[in-house]
Amino acid sequence: MQQQYILRIDCPDEKGLVHKITGVLYHNDLNVMRTDEFVDRESGYFFMRTEFAGDTDENKIVSGLIGILPSRANISLNKISKKNIIILATKEHHCLGDLLIRHHFNELNANILCVISNHEILHSLTSKFDIPFHYISHDNKSREEHETEVLKLIDTYQPDFLVLAKYMRVLTAQFSNHFPNRIINIHHSFLPAFIGASPYRQAYQRGVKIIGATAHIVNENLDEGPIIAQSVIPVDHTENATDMARLGRDVEKIVLAKALKLIFEDRVFVKDNKTVIFE
């Protein structure tokens, strides 16, 4: 079977880009299986994701593209393969458990290298799936000291992405900048509403009629990174904050799984603080 690739390009828009890009692939005897394009007319920016197959020299393809694209083009060429990820969690089991089950049944399109937690409560759950579990306590440590220990461990694994599966620690900018556009978080709210702690309590006190969840890329600003996926469900006056939290857990699992599928299939482009997603 021929090797399959995903080519991602974003650059200032100009006429003939699709023709030029597919021309490079054609002249290298490569077979295009799918291509998606989008032009943001407001910014004049072009985005393209192409799946192709064939035997090729990756450096030759990238060099050929550099020669025909605008000078500020971003080019990413990857073989289609599973991503290597580390999951960070705290005490809540629902998102971690869902990801462990999907991984066990080969539905995640990723290899879970390990789980890292600042509490031991999820160790027994993780061990049932033969995934390494690392407990790094935050007690009697500054945030920076704790993160230094976590980073040291992460560096031994060299993951492609970090997944925050209800990891209830606010990350410093230094930590998040260590993995630009490579940390995915699930937030138990329909952002930008109810940022920060106790969003279901905030939602209940506001008397909302829907609750939701948001999966986003982590940046240096709390809960303000580029949004990947969101969903909502209806609620009414009979549900209190505890009920809303229980209902919200199912939404969180679904939204996180959807976001990770998009990320692991290289379908998400980040431009400024927004995303362009080819589903």
Give pLDDT tens digits for 97-116. Answer: 999 999 999 999 999 999 99
Return the higher-pLDDT residue of 207 and 130. Answer: 130
Angstrom distance (rounded) from CA 54 to CA 31: 6
Q: How would residue 192 be classed by pLDDT, with cut points 50, 70 and 90?
A: low
> Which of 207, 279, 261 lies closest to 82 in space, CA to CA?
261
- CATH assignment of 83-277, given 3.30.70.3420, 3.30.1330.50, 3.40.50.170, 3.40.630.10? 3.40.50.170
Question: Measured between alpha carbons, how far apart are the two ends of the chain, in Å?
Answer: 25
Angstrom distance (rounded) from CA 228 to CA 276: 9
Q: What is the pLDDT of residue 30?
A: 97
Write out the catalytic residue numbers: 223
Neighbours of 71 (CB within 10 A): 7
Residue keyed to tokens 């560096």:
155
Name the segment(s) of the chain with CATH classification 3.30.70.260: 4-79
What is the pLDDT of the chain when averaged over all its residues? Answer: 93
Q: What is the pLDDT of residue 196?
A: 63
Angstrom distance (rounded) from CA 232 to CA 181: 25
Q: What is the pLDDT of residue 276?
A: 97
Name the segment(s) of the chain with CATH classification 3.40.50.170: 83-277
Q: Decide: pTM greater than 0.85.
A: yes
- CATH assignment of 4-79, given 3.40.50.620, 3.30.1330.10, 3.30.70.260, 3.40.50.1970? 3.30.70.260
